[in-house]
Amino acid sequence: MTEVADDLFFVRGMSSNWVIIGGSDTATLIDTGYPGDAELLDASVEAAGFKTCDVSSILVTHAHADHIGSAERYRREFGTRILALDTEVGHLKREFLEQVSPKTALPHLIKPRFARWMHMAVRKGHGLDDVTVAQAAAVPAEQPLPFPGAPIAIPTPGHTRGHAAYWFAEARILVSGDALITGHETSKRTGPQMLHTVFHHDEPGALRSLARFAGLDARLVLPGHGDVWSGDLTVAVNRMSEGVAA
């Protein structure tokens, strides 16, 4: 866990990441990792100086199992609010599902990296545990939200129809979710890249959404997968727009 700004913590999970936003007496999460990350998630909240019952809200980038693994548990046990863009709320409730399945991943399992990812994902609960969120609410896009640091939800559809990134303008930090990552089990690359095409609901849309990041004067990028990254985000986005890393 790294404190990337005052009371803003980036947690690198075993595969997917989450962010803790500290407040005076409550905390907010951005994503929660896999179901199998539950113990690590709780420990990170406590390491940030809070109890798990202090988590009042969870902002969701998107409703894939590796990003909402503990969301319903927190809602049920602590009354935590689960929040996402309105176009992703139905995904949280599993009114529809836009997530890679073992069937769609099967043709790629001849690749060692994909085979290792599948083994890890099954072990951590991807696609096997029920992560349905029974109750969720929508947050407005493109305006500061009432949380410390005033994050702004930036619609970045493509990976899922309601994917959002969160921009902390004053701290100049972008929480990019899976719209932009810096590493993944299925990729041999490190640094800014997109997930393999099999993981996107709408790959052309995901490519178009990269343009939302161009021009952001980001000091740091906190991705859904991979390490914290710093660099010229506009240059990185332009290079990524030329092709998807496989």
Query: Tell me: the pLDDT tens digits for 3-14?
Result: 999 999 999 988
Closest-CA residue to 170 (of 2, 5, 1): 5
What DSSP character marks residue 77?
A: H
Task: Determine the length of the chain.
Answer: 246
CB-based burial, 123-142: b 16+ in 10 Å, e otherwise? ebbbbeeebebeebeebeee
Homologous superfamily in CATH for domain 2-97+104-240: Ribonuclease Z/Hydroxyacylglutathione hydrolase-like (3.60.15.10)
Q: What is the pLDDT of residue 151?
A: 98
Mean predicted lDDT score pLDDT of the chain: 91
List residues bridging with 229 in a β-sheet.
221
Q: What is the pLDDT of residue 126?
A: 58
Q: What is the pLDDT of residue 246?
A: 36
CB-based burial, 7-37: b 16+ in 10 Å, e otherwise? ebbbbbbebbbbbbbbeeebbbbbbbbbbbb
Strands in 96-151 per DSSP E? 137-138
pLDDT at 118 over 80: no
pLDDT at 111 over 90: no
CB 165 within 8 A of CB 184: no
Terminal-residue alpha carbon distance, the chain:
28
Q: What is the pLDDT of residue 102?
A: 65
Q: How many angstroms separate the CA atoms of 102 and 116, rounded?
A: 13
pTM, to two decimals: 0.91
Per-residue pLDDT tens over the stretch 30-44 = 999 999 899 999 999
How is residue 228 written in tokens?
């914290």
Per-residue pLDDT tens over the stretch 183-223 = 888 788 889 999 888 888 999 999 999 999 998 999 999 99
Q: How many angstroms separate the CA atoms of 166 and 224, rounded?
A: 11
Residue 143 exposed, middle or buried by CB count within 10 Å (0-12, 13-18, 19+): exposed
